[in-house]
Amino acid sequence: MKTDNIFYQLFQTFPNLLFELIGQPPSLAQNYTFVSQEVKELSRSFDGVFLPLKNAPDQPIYFVEVQFQPKADFYWRFFAEIFVYLGQYQPANDWRAVAIFGKRNLDPGIPRQYRGLLADHQVIFVYLDELNQNPESSLALGLVQLVVGTEETAATVELTNRLLLQARTQLLDESFKQKVLELIESVLVYKFTALSRQELEAMFGLSDLKQTRFYQEAKEEGKEEGKEEGKLETVPLLLQLGLSVSEIAERLSLDIEAVRQVAQASSGNFQQG
């Protein structure tokens, strides 16, 4: 699963999610803007940076990094990026590092050279596998549970239906609701990579998602595939009329290999280009 992209979308859609994860009031999000800040010297970007607004000068900067794979040098790289950022931008605000792990056992432990940061509470740890599975969780936390949960179908269907219901009943802004529906669908697509869009619809009853951008794009792709199939069906007739494979491919704007395969399947005696 492309977790970096998913969590970037989650934080962008629900800025309050960070503060829920670290046990702070979600309302603090109104003091921040969320960005993916580049560290130029390293040519790398953080998974997310929560920058305090000008009217909240006493709030710290939150540097966020999400990790779902074992990485022994995680903290070395994370802190290097933070300190390069501080030297590069020289912000007036204090800062916190938020290390978010899919599971606790992915945390390699802070190197002793940086353990002084622990005494100052500069580092906050979040282990997503230890989040409370509360049916009353916010929509944002529910989406995190969907990302990190197992692929056990019944549980996923139940959680997905709850999230869809929350989106329908809690979100009044139609454009924002549409964005959340697309996010739910994106998580399911990443989570069940072996399933087609039609199979996802059948499994989860995703009638709400038929208006999402992903669905509409897939629908358009299907139309294009249908057009191509229709063109390929005319290949045997054009071969009988004496056109070569290369001529047919050029006139129908088709891949020559696709035309050749149809020609070989229909008859080995037609003229080949």
Transcribe 182-203 into DSSP letters.
Answer: HHHHHHHHHHTTTS-HHHHHHH
Residue 153 DSSP SS3: helix
Tokens of 128: 């997503």
Alpha-carbon separation of residue 251 from 76, 151, 259 (angstroms): 58, 47, 11
Listed by start position, the domains of the chain span 3-149, 215-266
**By C-alpha distance, which of 217, 261, 218 is closest to 239?**
261
Angle of helix 256-266 relative to helix 213-233, nearest 10 degrees? 50
> What does the pLDDT look like over 198-257, one tens digit per residue?
667 666 666 555 554 554 554 455 445 555 666 677 777 667 656 678 877 776 778 787
Say how far apart CA 67 and CA 87 lie, in whole Å. Answer: 25
**By C-alpha distance, which of 102, 160, 143 is closest to 13?**
143
> What does the pLDDT look like over 72-130, one tens digit per residue?
999 999 999 999 999 999 999 999 999 999 999 999 999 999 988 887 789 999 999 88
Alpha-carbon separation of residue 4 from 67, 149, 171, 192 (angstroms): 8, 16, 25, 17
Return the sign of the alpha-carbon dihedral for residues 237, 241, 242, 245: negative
* pTM, rounded to two decimals: 0.70
